[in-house]
Amino acid sequence: MHSINYGTKELFFELKQSERKSLSIEVYPDNSIKVLAPIKSNLAEIKKVVLKKSRWIIKQQNYFEQFLPKTPEREYVSGETHYYLGKGYLLKIRPGTENSVKLKGGCFNVTYHGENSQQITKNLLAKWYYQHAEKKFYALADVVFQKFKEFEIEKPNLEIRRMSKRWGSCQKNGKISINPEIIKAPTKCIEYVIIHEMCHLVQFSHNKKFYNLLSQKMPNWEKWKNRLEQNLS
């Protein structure tokens, strides 16, 4: 996996070289990019061609993006589908003696005490998601950290924090923040975000060394990054 910078945007592409005469660029519906190049072409020349075609590539990606599934706005009423670890569960809301959320029988069973409203259901689910995100993220972070033992870095402080436009972030002091929203995505997507942020503990910038390290720690990271963006964007 290689990348080029076009303005503020970074384009990642898979490179395949073979006995062919010309270079071609293919953009797929999942927004992935594949470059087919002659075996004698060097990487610098290939990147120059990709850079020249960047506007066309982005145009193709924007075209395909309109067909990607988007998470619809939730109304927090019975019958909706809500996600946890990549699986959809039916929302069932009913009155009870306490406010609670239980995942049982393929459903999110929400009970409320007193008067119900969409906001109450939303708050109850948000609290449930946060609690499960905290447990899942800390457990995964412990496993992922073992992949970085060779660098003799200190175990990072992990924070669960809502962010409007980011799945995770890493500060230079070693503090890593993870967005609790990704608890709705498959476990491998969560693992990708944590690995990505831990790579920043070794290579703080998004440079070639960073992506080499990311590919080393999670060879198929692009698949899970795309899955995360398609399901939760």
Specify if 72 maps to a domain.
no
Q: Which domain holds residue 102?
A: 81-129
Per mean pLDDT, which of 26-30, 60-64, 123-127 is the most reliable? Answer: 123-127
The whole-chain average pLDDT of the chain stands at 87
Place 32 in a pLDDT band, splitting at 50, 70 and 90.
confident
Question: How far is residue 62's CA from residue 42's CA, in Å, rounded to a whole number?
Answer: 29
Pairing of strands 175-178, 100-104: unpaired
Question: How far is residue 227's CA from residue 233's CA, in Å, rounded to a whole number?
Answer: 10
171 closest CA partner among 158, 190, 189: 158
Specify if 70 maps to a domain.
no
Pairing of strands 107-112, 87-95: parallel
Q: Which of 36, 65, 94 is the last residue of a domain?
A: 65
pLDDT tens sequence across 129-150: 999 999 999 999 999 999 999 9
Place 69 in a pLDDT band, splitting at 50, 70 and 90.
very low
pLDDT tens sequence across 147-200: 999 998 899 999 988 877 788 888 888 899 999 999 999 999 999 999 999 999
138 close to 158: Cβ distance less than 8 angstroms = yes
- Tokens 């009155």 appear where? 95
Number of residues written out for the chain: 233
